[in-house]
Each structure stands twice: as structure tokens, then as C-alpha cells.
Structure 1
Amino acid sequence: MQERQSRESGRKAPAAATLPEGFRLLPGFLDRQAQKDLLEEIRAVVAVAPLFTPAMPRTGTPFSVRMTNCGALGWVSDRAGYRYQPEHPLTGEPWPAMPPRLLDLWRQLTPEAPPPEACLVNFYGPKARMGLHQDRDEATFEAPVISVSLGATALFRIGGRSRKDPTRSLRLASGDVVVLGGAARLAYHGIDRLLPGTSTLVRGDGRINLTLRRVTPA
């Protein structure tokens, strides 16, 4: 995997003092070729496990993003609630294996953590967004969540462990990687909007976000 460190990207991560402890932004961590290679692997995942539209548990309101998963477990949401399960909700088939380059990225950024069990694949159209939320449907929070951005630049918002905490905004561009560990593991975060005309990788000015998670205790 061809990667370059944040200092080579021409952009600097925000000062750590302004963000939750354990939050790391690695701008431009994946170079252009690595992004293209990963995108092709995700297309292969989608060919086996098609994108579906999750819905809110109580209301059945559809999300504005479409999603799928790869790995041993996948996150789903419908009227039955938020949960992880081993099969696709529409096809009933097991999720496809996680691409090796994502496992390599996990080992590189969090070598002490047990391996990830789920990779959520969220597809954002130009008008899609994700409200403030915590990633807390896992049975363990011992490992960080690692997030990879491909395609359009997103306006990302992050706060603290209470929904009422002040939030900060920053841009996530294609190839950026975010690590949510420590106190940031349960920080509220979301995507306010995509910036139009910023995708040269994903067709239709779309964005793909990959989030790698450990679900069960090691």
C-alpha cells in the first residue's frame, strides 16, 4: 500500500488541544493510487453485498446514506433496532471478507488492538449527511474506530461524550484517515454536508466512508 504521512500532504491536522483526547487526523494518508486501488476493492465488496438503505429504529425513517459491510460482522439499522449481524439484511448471505489492505492499515495505526471484525461502507450522495451520533453499539470499546474517506470532501463535526458538548468542524478529503480512540472513541460526531465539486475519485460527486471496528471483546 502506498501511503504518505500527514506532513507530506500539504495540510496540517488540527491542534490536539482543540479536539477530544485520542482523536487523530491523518490528512492525505492514502495517496491517489492507494485510493484508486481501495475503491476497486470496495466495488468488489458491493458487487457481492449490495448497498441498502438503513432506517431509524422507532420511526422507520430512511437514512440519507446507503451502506453495506465487509468482515465477519456488519452493522444494520431497521425497525428492530441497531445491531451487528453476520449476514446481509436483504440477501441473507454472509458479508464478504475485509480487503487485506484495510487489515494492514488497522495493524499499522493500532498495532496493539485486536483485529477489526466489521467495516461499514457508507455511500454519500451529494446531499447525504449523518447526524451527530456515538459509535456505541459494540460490546467493547477497547479498540479505536478507524475511518477512511474516499471521494468528495466532507464537513465533519466532532464534540465530546455528551450531545451538549461544544463541537468542532473540519474537512475530510479523499485519502484522509481519522482515528477515534481514548476519550474520542465515544465522542459525538457526524457529517454536516459534502462540498460540491470536490470528488475526482467517486462518480457523481459522491463520497465513500469506511469505518473499521472491533465489535466483541478479544
Structure 2
Amino acid sequence: MAASVPAGMTYVEFCGERFPLSGERRFTIGREADLSVDDNPYLHRQFLVLHNENGLWWLSNLGSHLSATVSAGDVGFSATLGPGARMPLVFGETTIVFTAGPTTYELSVYATAPQVRPVTQQSFAGGRTTQGVPTLTESQKLLIIVLAEEALRREGSGSSSIPSSAQAAARLGWPITKFNRKLDNVCDKLDQLGVSGMRAGGGKLASNRRAKLVEYAVASRIVTRADLPLIDAEAARNAAS
């Protein structure tokens, strides 16, 4: 059960628990912070910080190498907050997704905010924004759904582990060669759209691209819980063939 929070109060929600925010002090999120999300050694001790400035809530990235995807699905907004960057939270509900090592985390910030209209892409120092929703084939979407399965099935906010390519391929009933080929195609497509984390330096494929792919897809709502039945349908179809 979530902790009771007075109506109109700003709070962070993580794993069904609510953490009230005070305009008088900063609220940190990380491995050793006001909200300690996990003892994951890949996560900064203090990664994100929320603070109120002149009546407006700001989110800052204190990390040196991790980024966070910030989105507000009801207005179609999604942006990446890179190390050292900050941005105002001008939506009533903001979803924050980030990946540290093999684990992806999700939390939400609820705040009284001015009404905003649907927006197009915006830039924030130190980060790269989503450049639009990619056009995916049925098999490409299936690949993303199976990688994000645990993240989509969990109730509320929290963390999820990303399956290996072999585990995901077996779940769909695909040969690993087909899965890896489709993964390459999806990552190439997103890289061309400007999504970060798909490639490492020198154009090489990033080692943690599966986790970054899930982070992007969940935050941008490319895949949702409603897509999950497609996994079993594909597995059954391949088992029968």
C-alpha cells in the first residue's frame, strides 16, 4: 500500500511507496540517497536530485555517466537527461526511467503543475531527445516486447532485469541468429533517429543496448502492457510450425 500523501502535495512514487517532497530541501535519488532505490554498484550513490526553485520543480542529473529518460505520455513528451543536465518538471505526472548495469528502474513524480499543450522535441544540455516514434515491423516490435516483458508485467514502479538475447529468442521460439539480426536492425533504426545508447564509440554496437532499448521503449510507450499477449501468440505459432 502506498503511503498516504495529502491532496495537492508533490511526491515521488517508487515500488508503490510515496515519498513527499518539501520545497525547503533537495530530494536525492540513487544508491545511498533520500530514495535509495537499490544497492546496485552500477548506480551512482546520488544520481538524481529534485528541488524547488521559485515555485517550480527541477530534476537534475548528478551522475557522471548515467542518463535518465523523462516522459509525460499524456502530452507526448519524452527527453533524455544526460550527466550534469537539469530540466523543469512542468507536467502533473512525470515518469523517469533509467538503467544501471543490467537493471532498469522506473519512478514517477506527481506535482501540481501548469497546464501544458502537447509538445514536440526539446533539447536539454547534456542529453539527447527522442526524435520521433520509429516505424517498426511486426517482428521488430515483438523483439522489443519480449525484452521489456518483465518491465511491462510489474505492478507499479520498480526495477526489472533484461533477459539475455538467448533467453528472449527462446521465449519467442526464434533461432538466436534471427533474434540478433532483428536486434541489430532495431538498434540501427533507433540510432538513426538519434536515440542514445544504441552504439558505442567508433560506430560499434553498444554492449548494454538491450537495456537502453527497453528504457527508451517503455518511457516512450512504444510498447505497453497491452502488447504482452503477442509474445505467447508468437511462441505458440512457432511451436506449431
**TM-score, normalised with respect to structure 1:** 0.28
* Structure number with bigger Rg: 2
Bigger fraction of residues in strand:
1
Which one scores higher on RCO, CA 8 angstroms, separation ≥ 6? 1
**TM-score, normalised with respect to structure 2:** 0.26
Bigger fraction of residues in helix:
2
